[in-house]
Amino acid sequence: MALRFLGIDPDSPTDESPTIWLHEETGDLLIQWYRATDAEVGSCKEVGSIPGHSTDVPDNETIIRLPAAMLAFLPAQQVHHTAGREERAAPGA
């Protein structure tokens, strides 16, 4: 797996390491962060997403809270519209 380190929260304590990596082949982001609190997860469930979509969080997923300071490490995405659908180019592509 080809990963590239993007950044670490500059305000994180030495023994904690909120971090973002980029999977260079797929453009996916791998994010190590603090889990959202039960109250935050509850709020997400109340707000929901799209009609008919479950608000449950499956066992293989979690909700994280990404502080605004970490947004600077997110790579820009290029969106291409092809035959009526969006295709996202991998960062750096």
Using one digit for the tens of pLDDT, what is the confidence trace for 60-74?
Answer: 888 888 777 788 888
The verdict on residue 83 lying in a domain is no
pTM score: 0.62
Q: How many domains does the chain have?
A: 1
pLDDT given for residue 88 in this prediction: 52
The verdict on residue 33 lying in a domain is yes
* Residue 81 neighbours by CB under 8 Å, 6+ apart: 87
Q: Distances from the Cα of 47 to the Cαs of 36, 42, 51, 66, in angstroms?
A: 15, 9, 11, 18
Q: Which of the pair, 47 or 93, is modelled with greater confidence? A: 47
Using one digit for the tens of pLDDT, what is the confidence trace for 3-60?
Answer: 999 988 888 777 777 888 988 998 888 888 888 899 998 998 898 888 888 888 888 8
Instruction: Tell me how far apart the alpha carbons of residues 5 and 24 are, in angstroms, rounded to a whole number.
Output: 10
Instruction: Tell me how far apart the alpha carbons of residues 80 and 60 are, in angstroms, rounded to a whole number.
Output: 30
Which domain range does residue 17 map to? 1-70
- Alpha helices by DSSP H, listed for the chain, are 38-47
